[in-house]
Amino acid sequence: MIDKKHLNYFKTLVTEDNVYSDKAHLIAYSYDATRTRYEPDAVIFPRDEQDIKDILKYCNEHKIIITPRGAGSGFTGGALPASGGVILAFEKHMNKIIEIDMQNMLAIVQPGVVNMDLQKAAEEVGLFYPPDPASEEYSTLGGNVSENAGGMRAAKYGITKDFVMAIRAVLPSGEVIRAGKKTIKDVAGYNVAGILIASEGTLAVTTEITLKLIPKPRFKQTYMGIFPDVTSAMNAVFKSLASGANPVAMEFLDALVIQALREKLNVNLPSDAGAVLVGDVDGNLEDEIKFQLDTLSKSFKENGATKFIVANDEKEAKELWFARKNASPSITIFGTKKLNEDISVPRSKLPIALEGIYKIGKKYNLTVPCFGHAGDGNIHVNVMVKDKNNEKEMEDGHKAIEEIFQFVVDLEGTLSGEHGIGTSKAPYMKIAFNEIEMNLFRSIKKAFDPNNILNPNKMGL
């Protein structure tokens, strides 16, 4: 429990309205999408960077733990105050788009800006911010940068890191750093912005982000390929991309997900479909769209697709996307607990990765529906536990996850393509990194945060 004198200091500093310490608010800020709960001692809403500087300096001097928080939509516990202390939240005051610079095609934003608000503001002036996590309607750009969020459009445009040009942040000492520049090219000094991206609020508190914008493509069209099995679909992913196709998205559903969509939501997919790939192509010329669709169609068919469908209008496009967008809620037919991981492998290893993951599921007698961003090798693996109150089944679920991680790392893959490590994947960091690498991470953490006050005990540190 935080000392009253500290609470009074914060109230005097940012005004009483901007410090919550009542039970209802502490509960409201105690969770994220992991559904795990840790109550903070207080929630503070800084009004500007100066407040953040003062708060960090004070907390550093008094060893008060701080957890920065965006919308709390993270899947791995990054925003949870797992070691107590105070939460810094940005949604109340630090939620402004400071500037959209048309000439340099960039946006400068505060960390609490919601991803979709930037997308809309960019589109109003004919520009485009591609990173589109499925949480785009509520997740914040501060959270997106700290988790290096990806989205459906990553296959063509990349992920958050590909759009971050510069970050302004406050160190635990209360000092401000500027990492990166407004320039396209910048090779002076270490890439500190690169270190801050995906650092999950463990190194510094972001106060301003400069993001690259690009011209908005004029045309878009949606496609779907139906495959007899997962292996042919996974082969089609990397072979079609290598053959010159450049789709905006290439999303995957396996046979179990298709079964769940048909049973739960009556989705019109063939009962004998073993896998589906769905996505968009875009461009500025109609011929460009035609070329993309022809290339995909040819390559999908060469790799065993039984059907290649192209949406003729917005309504048909929505129908094709409905299946992918409802994959996650539909698979609850397989169990009461979903152990959901987001592994990533080099794309050419997708066929072997999926085969191995299903084998591990079978070994533990667990159903493992898989779907996700196949175009970037990032698959959501869902180990379904039928009865979450059955201890043995839960234990087997966790054993299966650990084996899947080991298998994926052996394939030169990674524990997480986009959700981060936080608290929930921390125990598995030893699978992916050796002691020398973990010690390097610890040294970086210490250089930024010698008193370990910023989101400690996250990321296996």
Ligand X SMILES: Cc1cc2nc3c(=O)[nH]c(=O)nc-3n(C[C@H](O)[C@H](O)[C@H](O)COP(=O)(O)OP(=O)(O)OC[C@H]3O[C@@H](n4cnc5c(N)ncnc54)[C@H](O)[C@@H]3O)c2cc1C
- Find out whether 375 and 344 touch, Cβ atoms under 8 Å: no
Q: Which two tokens stand for residue 133?
A: 């996590």
Give CA–CA dist 321/108, Å, rounded: 32
Work out how close the CB of 242 gets to ligand X at its nearest, in angstroms, rounded to a whole number. Answer: 25
Site string for ligand X, 266-305 (x = CB under 6 A): ----------------------------------------
Single out the residue of 338, 393, 336 nearest to residue 364, CA to CA: 393
Which position among 85, 142, 274, 413 is part of the footprint of ligand X (CB under 6 A)?
Answer: 142
Query: Under 8 Å CB-to-CB from 184, ≥6 apart: which residues?
Result: none
Exactly one of 455, 456, 460, 461 binds ligand X (CB under 6 A); that residue is: 455
The nearer residue to ligand X, 171 or 296, going by C-beta atoms, is 171
Which of 40, 46, 72, 217 forms a contact with ligand X (CB under 6 A)?
72
Provide the sign of the torsion angle of the four alpha carbons 134, 135, 139, 145, taken in this order: negative
User: Please, which residue, 96 or 363, has the CB nearer to ligand X?
Assistant: 96
User: Measured from the CB of residue 37, what is the shortest distance to ligand X in angstroms?
Assistant: 14
Shortest distance, position 201 Cβ to ligand X, whole Å: 3
Q: Which of residues 111-140 bind ligand X (CB under 6 A)?
A: 111, 133-135, 139-140
Q: To the nearest 5 percent, what fractions of the chain are helix, strand and coil?
A: 40, 20, 40
Which of 34, 60, 146, 297 lies at the binding interface for ligand X (CB under 6 A)? 146
Nearer to ligand X, 46 or 217 (CB): 46
Residues in region 395-424 near ligand X by CB under 6 A: 418-419
Measured from the CB atom, the residue of 71 and 408 that comes closer to ligand X is: 71
Contact 154, 373 (CB under 8 A): yes
Binding to ligand X (CB under 6 A): which residues in 28-57? Answer: 32-33
Least distance to ligand X from the beta carbon of 165, Å? 17
Residue numbers 181-240 binding ligand X by CB under 6 A: 200-201, 205-206
Sign of the alpha-carbon dihedral angle for 48, 51, 53, 55: negative
Task: Check residue 85 for interaction with ligand X (CB under 6 A).
Answer: no
CA-closest candidate to residue 212, choices 252, 261, 265, 157: 157
CB of 378 to ligand X, least distance (A): 9
Rounded to whole angstroms, how far apart are CA atoms 223 and 247?
Answer: 10
Member of 9, 10, 38, 75 binding ligand X (CB under 6 A): 75
CB of 295 to ligand X, least distance (A): 26
Q: Which of 240, 272, 193 is nearest to 375 (CA)?
A: 240
- Minimum Å gap between C-beta 398 and ligand X is 21
Q: How far is the CB of 153 from ligand X (least distance, A)?
A: 10
In contact, 292 and 281? CB cutoff 8 Å: yes
Q: How far apart are CA 186 and CA 179, in angstroms?
A: 10
Which stretch of DSSP H or E encloses residue 440?
A: helix 435-448
Q: How many CB atoms lie within 10 A of CB 320?
A: 19
CB-count exposure of residue 127 (10 Å: 0-12, 13-18, 19+): buried
Q: Does 71 bind ligand X (CB under 6 A)?
A: yes
Q: Binding ligand X by CB under 6 A: which of 40, 46, 78, 361?
A: 78
Least distance to ligand X, CB of residue 55, Å: 12
Both tokens of 361, joined, read 């599921």
Q: Does 90 bind ligand X (CB under 6 A)?
A: yes
166 exposed, middle or buried (CB, 10 Å; 0-12, 13-18, 19+)?
buried
Residues at the site binding ligand X, with contacts judged by CB under 6 A: 32-33, 67-75, 78-79, 90, 111, 133-135, 139-140, 142-144, 146-147, 149-151, 200-201, 205-206, 418-419, 455
